[in-house]
Amino acid sequence: DTAVSQTPKYLVTQMGNDKSIKCEQNLGHDTMYWYKQDSKKFLKIMFSYNNKELIINETVPNRFSPKSPDKAHLNLHINSLELGDSAVYFCASSQASEQYFGPGTRLTVT
């Protein structure tokens, strides 16, 4: 009965690699998000998608690209990974006010 799921839960990779994180929600929500939480625990929005249209795109590097094949999925692809990309990435979805978060993907770039 998982509402928002992410894979993988942990990702360890080397600098320069390309990786993807997948997110799925079974809540029927219209809007999905990606957040980054850094080592200082500050949670910052990266992207959101509403009905497959990008509606927020914060000042993140263009190495990050969200891809939404359908309303229930919002994947995050990262090119040329850098040390500073190490963080926990949370997917979330919402219909009205409350956002439901996935369990997070802990990315470590070595």
Partner 1 sequence: RKEVEQDPGPFNVPEGATVAFNCTYSNSASQSFFWYRQDCRKEPKLLMSVYSSGNEDGRFTAQLNRASQYISLLIRDSKLSDSATYLCVVKSLSGSARQLTFGSGTQLTVLP
Q: Using CB under 8 A as the criterion, which residues of the chain lie in contact with partner 1 when the complex forms?
A: 40-45, 48, 50, 55-56, 90, 97-99, 101-104
- If the CB atoms of residues 44 and 63 are measured against partner 1, the closer one turns out to be 44
> C-beta of 97: minimal distance to partner 1 in Å?
6
Concatenating the DSSP letter of every residue in 38-93 gives: -TT--EEEEEEEETTEEEEE-S--TTEEEEEEETTEEEEEE-S--GGG-EEEEEEE
> C-beta of 21: minimal distance to partner 1 in Å?
14
Euclidean distance between CA atoms 31 and 63, whole angstroms? 22
> C-beta of 43: minimal distance to partner 1 in Å?
4
- If the CB atoms of residues 102 and 109 are measured against partner 1, the closer one turns out to be 102
Tell me which amino acid residue 35 is.
Y
